[in-house]
Amino acid sequence: MELQRRVNLKPYNTLSLNVEAAYFVAINCLDDLRQARKFCHDKCCPWLLIGGGSNLVLTQDFEGLVMLMAMDQVFWPVEKEKQSISKTFSVNAQAGYEWDLLVAESVARGASGLENLSLIPGQVGAAPIQNIGAYGVELKHCLELVQVFNFDTGDTFELAAKDCEFGYRDSVFKRNRSWIVTQVQFSLTYGNQPQVSYGIIADTIMSLSGELAANASPQQVRDAVIHIRRSKLPDPKKVPNVGSFFKNPIVSDSQKQKLAQQWPGLVAYAIDGKGHKLAAGWLIDQLGWKGFKQGDVGVHEHQALVLVCSGVATGKDVLDLAQTIKVDVAKKFGVTLEVEPRLFDNRGEFYL
């Protein structure tokens, strides 16, 4: 374990926030995690694990140890195994592997299951924590097993998908912050099984290829998703952001009906037995926030769900704007927005 001191974290978070870590180390193997745990215990200091940095807001210099997840191997079936296995097979990826690279490789191998989750930023390890989802597919649909390191105890263990308590952008890992994902096992399928329930996916496939979505290949679905995301979302390498800043709120059927009467264009999706999911971006857009700028932070001009900032903005600047938007939405719609990225001050995580 090669420990560094006073490391600037600007290159390691997609908001490009200029904060510093008192201590910093890259995690390349389980033994590095064990040594990092001992260091934090001996120093009595807090710790923070960073993956792709696309789902966190750093508001202050961090007084403890920041660990960069760098375990980045992926294990595909070898050719002989591929010939003997059934239509469904498993692939294992370590937590530090780039998520979209895994999706691209699965599609290139003719495998289906991940293509709707194309171009989601971050690493594999963050995927089960958030139960990432897009265009009718959530990670829980293809996840089999998660390997975990408990930073509090030093123990390692495995969790089957059924034990991960997956919900909308939620999982058991959010209630056990000392659990660090080290590897994930996915179940994929050979052959075309397109998930094109979202109309925009079907329309984009037809537009790009001239073919019906029902017969689309995994590559055609991936191409459509990438096309849609690039048209709506800014590239964090060019415009600092963390993607969707707010979760889509879930309301009761009666509340949805009341809102629909007041706002005829309300965008909502029924959830089996759980009411309706409202489009947070639509709510924010109706209140005129799209394209708003306040100093070095603002709301993206094409997507009201995305907060953007300049290279000199602070985490406090970002959260001040987010809080103002939350208050406005609550006042006009009676709906409470929940921040999606994780928030950290100098000692650890906090909630807005």
Position 79 scores a pLDDT of 57
For the 4-69 domain, the top CATH level (class) is alpha beta
63, 169, 177, 338: the catalytic one is: 169
Contact 245, 315 (CB under 8 A): no
Active-site residue flag, 105: no
Q: Catalytic residue at 254?
A: no
Domain locations in the chain? 4-69, 74-232, 241-350
What is the pLDDT at residue 301? 93
**Does residue 211 have an active-site annotation?**
no
Please give the Cα distance from 151 to 170 (Å, whole number).
20
User: Catalytic pick from 16, 229, 244, 342?
Assistant: 244
Question: For residues 204-224, b (16+ Cβ closer than 10 Å) or e, as one string?
Answer: bbeeebeeebeebbbbbbbbb
Instruction: List CB contacts of 122: < 8 A, sequence separation 6 or more.
Output: 51, 52, 54, 55, 99, 132
- CA proximity to 282, closest of 319, 253, 244, 310: 244
Answer CATH for 241-350 from 1.10.620.20, 3.90.78.10, 3.40.50.720, 3.40.350.10:
3.90.78.10
Per-position pLDDT tens, the chain of length 352: 899 999 999 999 999 999 999 999 999 999 999 999 999 999 999 999 999 999 999 999 999 999 999 999 999 987 544 444 458 899 999 999 999 999 999 999 989 999 999 999 999 999 999 999 999 899 999 999 999 999 999 999 999 999 999 998 899 999 999 999 999 999 999 877 888 888 889 999 999 988 888 889 999 999 999 999 999 889 998 999 999 999 999 999 999 999 999 999 999 988 877 799 999 999 999 999 999 998 999 999 999 999 999 878 999 999 999 999 999 999 999 999 999 999 999 999 998 8
Distance, in Å, from the CA atom of 96 to the CA atom of 86, rounded to the nearest integer, reads 28
CB of 38 closer than 8 Å to CB of 67:
no
pLDDT value for 197: 82
Residue 290 contacts residue 269 (beta carbons within 8 Å)? no
Measured CA to CA, the distance from residue 3 to residue 104 in angstroms comes to: 33
Q: For residues 48 and 178, give the distance between their C-alpha atoms in angstroms, rounded to a whole number.
A: 10
Answer whether 0.75 is exceeded by the pTM.
yes
- Please give the CATH topology (third level) of the domain spanning 74-232: 3.30.465
